[in-house]
Structure formats: structure tokens, C-alpha cells
Chains A and B, each alone.
Chain A
């Protein structure tokens, strides 16, 4: 696999931690950029606390499974940037890099003397992407976010749930995943612009702000039509429309029925299938797949208006049928007949049972020095000439410190050893991992 990669020879200085920033640089790494992750064990956030360490291993800085999946394709430089010597090393590193990415609070890098102007003095065409909660400008720039808070404040949480119930929200930090997407998108966009014009720039990406445009049609319904989302029947659960409430579009495509999740055999926690009919012909095909039961021939179900009006009854009939089939069997029968249906899939389903993801090699095993062999998630796209790939497992903390300090930045081995002795590369009072002792030989 020695094929050319899209971001060959691009170097990224990565100050990011937890999820959103590391998720961004993970993809730049998969596309071939050299990602140098700057870490310090005393204030590390992302490796610990770990709830994804395999049960047979000790929880330590190098055994988080989630960290591994989020940080493949990177190198780790452990460095105390809060010392003059550490800062000098960072400056030398930035001088030979293309992109700086960080997801600290809005003023942190500036306080270190590494604001955009200072970065330009070190590297005039640097692409500097800051990924903060609220951005570097605006009165609430010092506010902080985690995914759930960004989702709440931006309106995303409100779009999920059943009418009359509290918001169901998003069961994970969607805006950490998506914030990471925007970080990578901004970095690539800035890089393209630099390659075309020779100009770098500062890109102020904000997790809470990036979430707002994801509500576009709902926002336009308000700014154009004056219709807010606090209304009867919204959000409509999995339906396009909630029965018995005013007939309006609910921002999930066409207003149709059936459009819902239905329980499947044997009725366990994740035994559900979703079925959607976008047109009368699709509904008629579903009727055939269900064996043309007499209830389905009722005039009230013949039109989309009728199916919307009698949706509750329609859904009960469909579920009585769907309960007789497993979710994969139901999916295959429906899709073979041209009916939109797919199973609700847990993580286990996706990794073990999804034939499409298996065919597309979504989860391939990759060895890791501390975690052994585990599956890692692959890119959702294939570039014909420069395919993305997972080519490095996530780094052990500080694993590449010597390679970077001596190999890339041309410090001598004596200087490297001195940096360990004075606490620049590892806290003097903290036990070193065996691979650090080897580096010091």
C-alpha cells in the first residue's frame, strides 16, 4: 500500500484533545497528512478517564479503545508547552508545518504567545484552525461547550423527540463528531486556498455556531413564514407528521405515511425496522410485501392524505405484520420489492451484521502496541488515486517525541536527554513508560 496520499508532505501541529479536534485530525491523517499531536500527561484529556479499555487490560494513558479509534494516523509529542523551552520547540515545529489546529477555550493560545499574528511571524502562510465552543469573537466567547450543550443551545436537541414529551435529544455528542467534520473541512479549505494563493489565514470555527446551520429549513420557516418549532405535533418522533395536529412540513423531507419505526421479531431492545413510502406506488408495493391483507385495501389507506389522516391505525397494522419478521429479513423483502426499509442497527449490528459495511470493509483490524488487535473505523469514501487509509495505530503518549525532536527538529540526543531530565518532555516525578527509557538510550 505505498500509493500516493492526498495530503502527502502536509504537516499538522495538533494541540486538540477530547473528541472534536482529534476527530478532525484523524481524517487529515487518514488522507496522508503527518499529524503531530502535542500532549502532556498532567493535563491530558482524551486518553483518561477511559471507559473503553478492554477488560483484560489496566486502565492507563495508552489503553483507551475510544482514544485509539479517534487518534489513528497520528504521532505523539509529549511536551510541556508551559515552559520557555517547550514553547521554543513548538515554535520550531510550527516553522516547518502547514496547519495548526487547536480546540482550547478562545484565549488559550493567545495567552501562550501563539495567537495568529505570532504564528504568522513564525510561518507566514500558516493555516491556523481554532475549534472552540463559541468562537473567538462574540460576547459569549468565553462560554464552554460539550457536545450535549452545543446541541441544546443551537436548537438541535429540540428537533428530536415525541410531541408533548421532553426532548429526546441526541444520545451522543453529535456536535463533537460534526465539530470535527467542520475542523477538517476548514483546514482543507484553508490549505487549498493557501496552495492557490500563497496566503494562510485564521479560521475561527465554533462548535455551537456550526450546529445552527443544520436547522436551516426550520429557521427559514420562522424567518420567512413566522412559524416557530414550539407547536403542536413537533417534533413528530419518527413520523413526518403527527396525527391530529395541523398538517405542516416538519423538516425531514416529504410529508408522507407510512414513515415510522416498527417493532420486529423477536421484539428485543433493538429489534426495530423503519419503513417509509414516498409515493402511492411504494405503498402498493408494501401492501404486496405484506401479503395484500384485507385491511390494506381499505379506501382510507389508498391515498397519502388518507394514510396521514389514519396514520395511527396504519402504523398499528404495519407493526402487527413487522412483528412476524426479523429486521434483516423484513429489510430484504421490502427492498427486493422496491420499498424503503432498513433495520435499526446498534453498534454490534453495524460491526457484525451489516452486509453492506462488511462488503465496503468499514471495520478492519489493526494492531496496536498496548491494545493488541482490534477493528478500526475506515473512511466513508474511496478516492480512486489517493485512497484514505488507517496506516498508523493511535500513538502511545510521547511515542514519537525523539523522532520529532531529534529527527525533524534536529536537536541533539544530548539536548533530548536534557529535556527529559528537566521536565520538558515528561514530568520528572512521573513514572516513564518502558518505550521512553528506550528513547533515552
Chain B
């Protein structure tokens, strides 16, 4: 594994230009963490996503946004004002050297600057350009405004998430947090870009990709669409478990420490499962009557589902810390888990075994911070964070002077005129 870590990432050699706010920065991070040279192009003064908290030590500053830090690892950063003629000319020169442009401007914006795909392709026919926008480049909602919450509403996430009436009467549908609409869009955009790159290895030509976050979200509710198309069902929200056409038994139980356990029981209640469950509960002296041989009869099980779930399993979990239930159950083959707050993951031994947490150096602060690492381990070309997020214009000299060949004098003029 140490050897593999020294290898270049799978996307080494690719040059990506990223013109992205919250909608596309995660896709750019994926490309960068997987080895591509991602050059993030920000307006002079920095992308507005730098103003999203939380901030380092709660001091708001465009170089201290933890959200920006997280979503912009493994990128270099330059500043460029595309609204100026000089900025446009420089961008066109950069585009001539790029493999992929990832942009999240409102539809038509780049075309209004003469920087849409067609003119850029004329000077670089291997160029791939992905426009990742809320609704795509066409259609009646094309110019609608959005946000994470808006996408989770229209995409169908909220219609599936919420509470049992008994738990929270009249509850609104709930949008899970964390900015996952942008993740859903970013995953699909990554797939589309990679497909175009694979195709280019064979065909030699680039292409244009019109990706829609709304559609990505609308695709991400598991079987909800099929339940409607094939059964006409509209599903109901339930506390901490799957949406369903009719009520299903609970799967989320409060543990002794006040946190919860996700324990899947109802759909699995056959005699073998009940015997294993009795053994698990019995190892803590909590089996109650479950070891009675009568529970090897499926009819008896069926008649006692509520007793097994709401009495025996609920009492068992209520008597122990959530983490202990999780591990004891998994070690006996139960697909159960503790409902953890994110920070609990820092203590997860399994993630440590996988080398998941990464120290990322912030040299200008003289400090390193722990970041979450890779979703998968590649044994021949590692997925890894190569650097912290760029400071504003950090690589202007490296990219524009050393690589693109502008003189230092030209750079100074561009800075004086707020082009960079």
C-alpha cells in the first residue's frame, strides 16, 4: 500500500479548468483527488463559496471557510475576470491547453462572452466541456434559481423523508442536510465527464455535456419512481426508515446513551433469524421468552412481531450504548448499525485501519488538519488529497507566468486592471 501511495493517481496528466461554485466544486474535488491537475478559476477577490461557513476558529474570512477548504482540495487556484476582454483572451488560451472545462454558470452566460463550447472547440478539438447547472441548458425551468433545499424538494428527497405521525404530528417533509443535492449532481457529472474521457481515448475527440442537478436528484430516491410507475403508489414518510405505501415496523431504537441504533428486524423474521436474535439478546441476559421453542414456528413469530420488536429488541437496545449494540450485533451477522454523529467517525477503528483520515498541511497557517479521505482504495493508482484548497490567486504566477508564458510585467498590468 505504501508503494501504491507513491504512484500517480488514475487521472494524472489531465488538465481540468473549473469555473464552479457550490454546484460543481465537489465534482472538481473528485477529479483533483483522483490525480487530475484541476485549475480553479475564480473571479478576482475569490469565489463567493469562500464566504460559506463554518470558518476556522469562527473568524469569517475568505481564506478560512472550512466548506471551501473541504470542497476544493487538490486544486490549484487562479483569478480571472471573464467580463474583461483580457480575461476572456487568457481564458481562451488556457482552454487551448485543457482536457476538460467544468462550469456552473447560468445557461447562456459563457456564450454571451463568446466562451461557450463551439468557439473553444475550434482551437482544441479534444476539449470536453461539462456544464453542470440546476436544470440543464433547456426547458421551462432552465433559468429558475435553486439551492440545496430547493433541489431536495423538487428532486423528491423531501417527499420521502420525515416522521411518523405518532412521533412528530403534522411534521413537514424533511430535507436531509449536508448539501447532498450538490453531491448528487457532482457524482453524475463525474460519470459523464469520465465517459467522455474514455471515449476520447478511442475517438480522439472531445464533446459537450449538459448535466442537470435536478435530474440527478430526481434519479436518487431508490424505488420511489418504480413504485409509482408500476403500482401507482405514493409513498409515506416514516421516522428513520424507508418510505412505504403502508406503515412498516420501526427500525430505529433509542440506546442507553441517548443515541439511536438502526436495527433491521421486521423483514427478516424467520425461525433462523429469531434463533440468532435470541442468542444475541441472551448473551446480555435479555432474551426474555425468545428462547422458547415455540418461536421456531413461523406462525408464532408472525403473531408476535410487535412483542419481538417493541418489547424485546427495544429493551435490549435501551440497556446498552449504541456502539456496543452495533458491534455485538454485527459480530453475530446482524446488519445493524449505530446512528452516529459525524464526529464519532474519528474514533472508528475500521476507518483508521483503512488509512482513511488524512493530515492536510496548511503551510501558511503552520498547521495541519485532519480531512476525510477516499471513498475507495485503488491498488494501482491512488485516490488521495494532494494539497489543501488554493488561496485566492495562489497559482497566478505558476499558471499564467511559468506555464502560459505571460511576463511578470504583463501579470502586473492585469492585476492593476483587476483582470486577475
A6/B231 in contact, CB under 8 A: no
Binds A, one of B89-97, B302-310, B375-383: B375-383
**CB-CB < 8 A to B203: which residues of A?**
4, 385
Q: Which of B102-110, B164-172, B273-281 contacts A (4 or more CB under 8 A)?
A: B164-172
B382–chain A nearest beta-carbon distance, Å: 10
Flag if B172 contacts A237 (CB, 8 Å): yes
B55 to chain A, nearest CB (A): 8
Taking a contact as CB atoms under 8 Å apart, the answer to whether B54 and A342 are in contact is no
Cα distance A151–B141 in the bound complex, in angstroms: 32
Q: How large is the interface on B (under 10, 10 to 19, 20 to 34, 35 or more residues)?
A: 35 or more
B6 in contact (CB, < 8 A): no
**A350 touching B161 in the complex, CB below 8 Å, given contacts A228-B341, A381-B210:** no
- CA of A184 to CA of B30, assembled, Å: 13
Contact pick for A152, options B236, B262, B379, CB 8 Å:
B262
Is B218 within 8 A of A362, CB to CB?
yes
Shortest C-beta distance, A365 to chain B (Å), equals 10
Supply 8 further A-B pairs (C-beta < 8 A) apart from A158-B339, A223-B370, A382-B210.
Answer: A138-B354, A153-B337, A171-B235, A209-B351, A253-B147, A274-B158, A342-B153, A381-B209
- Interchain CB contact under 8 A, A212 and B252: no
Q: Give A362 to B240 CA distance when docked, in angstroms.
A: 29
Residue in A closest to B70 when the chains form the complex, CB atoms: A216
Residue B266, interface by CB 8 Å:
no
CB–CB A192/B194 < 8 A: yes
Of B140, B148, B171, which contacts A252 at CB under 8 A? B148
Q: Are B223 and A137 in contact (CB under 8 A)?
A: no
Asked whether, in the complex, the Cβ of B225 is within 8 Å of the Cβ of A380, the reply is: no
Decide yes or no: A359 and B177 within 8 Å by CB, A168-B161, A335-B145, A380-B212 being known contacts: no
- Bound form: Cα–Cα A201–B3 in Å: 14
Q: Does A298 contact B (CB under 8 A)?
A: no
Contacts of A228 in B (CB 8 A): 341-343
Query: Are A355 and B222 also in contact (CB < 8 A) when A269-B236, A345-B159 are?
Result: no
Q: Which residues of A contact B44 (CB under 8 A)?
A: none
Candidates A204, A341, A388; contact of B377 at CB < 8 Å: A204
| Residue numbers in B under 8 Å from A219 (CB-CB) | 70, 342-343, 345-346, 371-372
Bound form: Cα–Cα A318–B178 in Å:
25
A166→B70 contact, CB < 8 A: no
- 22 A-B pairs (CB sep. < 8 Å): A55-B231, A66-B230, A166-B252, A167-B260, A168-B171, A169-B176, A171-B238, A181-B187, A185-B194, A189-B11, A193-B10, A193-B381, A201-B380, A214-B178, A217-B66, A228-B342, A261-B173, A342-B144, A350-B225, A362-B215, A381-B210, A386-B207
B173 and A344 within 8 A (CB) = yes
State whether A351 touches B225 (Cβ < 8 A).
yes
Give residues 313-353 of B contacting A (CB, 8 Å): 326, 330, 333, 335-346, 349-351, 353
Q: Is B179 an interface residue (CB 8 A)?
A: yes
In the bound complex, residues from chain A placing their C-beta under 8 Å from that of B221 are 172, 177, 347
Contacts of A197 in B (CB 8 A): 381
Q: Which residues of A contact B224 (CB under 8 A)?
A: 172, 346-347
Whether A58 sits at the interface, judged by CB under 8 Å, is no
| Residue B239 at the chain A interface, CB threshold 8 Å | yes
Query: By the criterion CB–CB under 8 Å, are B234 and A348 in contact?
Result: yes
B160 adjacent to A171 (CB under 8 Å): yes
Contact B336 A206 (CB under 8 A): no
Stretch binding the partner chain, chosen from A73-81, A139-147, A408-416, A420-428 = A139-147
In chain A, what residue has the closest Cβ to B135? A356
Query: A173 CA to B222 CA in the complex, in Å?
Result: 6
CB neighbours of B225 from chain A (8 A): 69, 347, 350-351, 363, 377
Which residues of A349-396 have CB atoms within 8 Å of chain B's CB atoms?
349-351, 354-357, 359-360, 362-363, 371, 374-375, 377, 379-386, 388
Q: Is the beta-carbon distance between B252 and A270 smaller than 8 angstroms?
A: no
Cβ contact of B228, chosen from A7, A152, A351, cutoff 8 A: A351
One of B167, B199, B230 near A386 (C-beta < 8 A): B199
Q: How far is the CA of A341 from the CA of B145 in the complex (A)?
A: 8
Of B239, B262, B337, B353, the most chain A CB neighbours within 10 A belong to B337
Candidates B198, B229, B350; contact of A6 at CB < 8 Å = B198
Contacts of A86 in B (CB 8 A): none
Q: Which residues of A contact B340 (CB under 8 A)?
A: 152-155, 158
Chain A CB within 8 A of B46 CB: no
**Beta-carbon contacts under 8 Å, B130-183 to A:** 130, 135-136, 138-142, 144-163, 167-168, 171-180, 183
CB distance from B14 to the nearest CB of A (A): 9
Residue of B nearest to A19 (CB): B222
Residues of B within 8 A of A350 (CB): 154-156, 218, 225
Q: Does A383 lie within 8 Å of B209, measured CB to CB? A: yes
A248: Cβ under 8 A from any B Cβ: yes
**Contact: B174 with A384, CB < 8 Å?**
no
Complex CA gap A410/B66 in Å reads 57
B343 touches A222 (CB 8 A): yes
B162 touching A168 by the CB < 8 A rule? Answer: yes
CB within 8 Å of B: which of A164-182? Answer: 165-174, 176-178, 181-182
B369 within 8 Å of A by Cβ? yes
- Cross-chain contact of A161 among B139, B140, B174, B178 (Cβ < 8 A): B174
A146-B335, A153-B338 known; A252-B149 Cβ under 8 A: yes
By beta carbon, the residue of chain B nearest A49 is: B267
Q: How far is the CB of B51 from chain A (nearest CB, A)?
A: 8
Residue A272 lies at the interface, judged by CB distance under 8 Å to chain B: yes
In the complex, A292 has a CB within 8 A of chain B: no
Binary contact readout B194-225 vs A (1 if CB under 8 angstroms, 0 otherwise): 11111101110101111111111011111111
Whether A251 and B179, one on each chain, are in contact in the complex, defined by CB atoms closer than 8 angstroms, is yes
A48 at interface by CB-CB < 8 Å = no
Q: Do B326 and A192 have beta carbons less than 8 Å apart?
A: no
Please report the C-alpha to C-alpha distance between residue A342 and residue B11 in the assembled complex, in whole angstroms: 37
Whether the Cβ atoms of B53 and A249 lie closer than 8 Å is: yes
**Docked CA distance A8–B203 (Å):** 11
Tell me the bound Cα distance from A305 to B184 in angstroms: 31
- The answer to whether the Cβ of B373 comes within 8 Å of any Cβ in the partner chain is yes
CA distance A66 to B223 in the complex (A): 6
CB-CB under 8 A from A165, the residues of chain B are 163, 167-168
At the interface, yes or no: B251 with Cβ under 8 Å from chain A? yes
Cα distance, A7 to B196, chains bound together (Å): 9
Asked if A166 and B260 sit within 8 Å, CB to CB, the answer is yes
